[in-house]
Structure 1
Amino acid sequence: MLNETCWFDEPFDFMIIHYIALSISVMIYAVAFFVLIFRTPKHFSKYRNYLAAHIFSGFLLDFVMGVLWKVTVVLPVPIMCSNTIVSEYATNVFQLLPVCFAYTGASAISLFVYRMEAVIVHRSEQLLVRKVVRYVKYAFYVNIGFVILLTILIYPDLKYQKEYKQKMEVRFGTFKPYMWCDNCFFCNFDSNLFRVFFYVAGCAVVLGGLTGGIAFHVTVKALSAVSSRLTAKTRATHRNYLISLVLAAVVHVVCILVPLLGFLSAINVLISLSQFRFFPFILALVIQEHGAASTVIMFLTNNLLRKALKKMFFCDEVIPTVENSSQRRSTIVAQH
């Protein structure tokens, strides 16, 4: 158990903002799952399952970061401290983050690949680029396996940091007592294993982005092809789903990669901005709440989900169709 010196007082305004943001996120996820399960038509069910899995990844990350870990970066010392009931296991909670990010990436990739397959399913020829997407996706999953393995192996580098903390204290000045506890630790870039973990995780990001990007390219090209058998309404439905998905993915990229790069590879920048006390708190909050933001963007930009959301708030019946029987047939084609 951690002793009393391991606990520290968090700024009251940070706590208020944190719990308000967490409460709003929970409401967003609750509404999203309710709409997906009870307010969307049956022919939307297969794509709905992919969306639900992806949205759940955001909820999972919110829970790990906002409830279990609840990280505080104590600048000008770039150390990550936890102050929750499971702070004793802060390093183990940190090990859950790569799993959460991997789940988010895999679910996002699945959505892009599904949209690609839904568009080109009626084309008889086997596109070479379609096979490339499949191979790159497999490479991503293999890479993720190595990330998970390395996440386990770096535990000693996170847990046992007495010597590393002594080195950091020389660099940044005298530590406060709680910083010597296990609930506070650095990203130990002195460790070769941790650096390998960091680079392999970066490769996973590249492979995931490449898979989604190529799938997006194939989808757009297929929708623009003169030889496409899709009707104009079906193409419009596909385009809307794709635009909605891309905008949601942009939120993930901006709200995960930018703060992570700030925390992990721009220490000098962080320190130079340490006079702005909200800076590290905002970075952590952006990562934590990005899933809810992505969900909102997806629901606002996807025509079917937006209409289902309106129907729910106006207490209408479950959507029996998209707009009329003709458009419903087009949407069924789009989903399959």
Structure 2
Amino acid sequence: MNITNNRAYNFNAGPSALPLEVLEKAQKELVNFNDTGMSIMELSHRSKDYEAVHNNAISRLKSLFAIPDNYEIVFLQGGASLQFTMVPMNFLTADKTASYVLTGSWSEKALKEAKLFGQTGEAASSKKNKYRNIPSIEEIKFNSDDAYVHITSNNTIYGTQWKEFPSTGDVPLVADMSSDIFSRPVDVSKFGIIYAGAQKNLGPSGVTVVIIRKDLLEKANTNIPTMLKYTTHVDSNSLYNTPPTFGIYMLGEVLKWIEEIGGLEAIEKHNEEKAKVIYDVIDNSNGFYTGHATVESRSLMNITFRVADEELEKQFLVEAKAAGFVGLNGHRSVGGCRASTYNAVPFEACQALANFMLDFQRKHQ
């Protein structure tokens, strides 16, 4: 436990750590937001006070992420999992194929949903290597008339992350960036669609951000349910129905926090420093700890590793929890250990974990 502020060392994979400054501001404003005499959660989503919050969040997204003018931003619900359905429902037509790059469980789930709507193909896959790496750019194969190419930019379960994105020309590149959006600068113009659940780097669970190029909206399928059309939400500024107002308020405050600490360039440097202290322990442990991901594909967001002995691994997780480290168990589907070092996880927490790992190794090696 961090005794200076009574906060746990939170390495949860999602919902995950939020900036303490943001939480404290939300706490202060929770009962009486902007002198309205109401909580942000009580305000009408049609009110001017909420409208300002909503539009400021969109404005900050555009500015921080350098989103070009030919893109729309919408706030949705349903997480990335709903986007697995909405993307093919809106853009996969009978005469097209959607190509998916498989790098883990979430890309597999996205592909599974797309198969319900039309023809699909695997542009590349690292499954045979137990998803230890991201396929090279040269491995990715798709057709020039494909509906789109889909990737998952960071893989929370396996701890891998794209370091370079493919150029797909006239074929729209679609990216699920749920677990690393706003962790580094990205050239948005390379993508047709970017979508992300907020609960890793952008705020609490409940909000999904979708960034979509305007020309794609003109080609979208129209014979689908109203709530599942992107155009419904674009045309209404994400206010067709009641949005997750508190989540959007929190998202805006997290973006303000990112601005104040220096933007995405500063965030990226900070994330590199945090991950390094933990990866260094793994790399210098002489096999006591072993990382899952290959070095060139390592994620800065999710550090996945094993302890050499299965019984020791169980003991490691028990002792880590007792020491105040939360969320270090690997995903239930693969086991092992995982430290999720998202934007709001402080360097202090990563250094404390590294020290704990070193001490545990000294005691048990």
Same fold (TM over 0.5): no
Rg bigger for which structure? 1
TM-score in terms of structure 2 length: 0.23
Higher strand share: 2
Higher share in helix: 1
Higher relative contact order, chain-length normalized (CA < 8 Å, sep 6+): 1
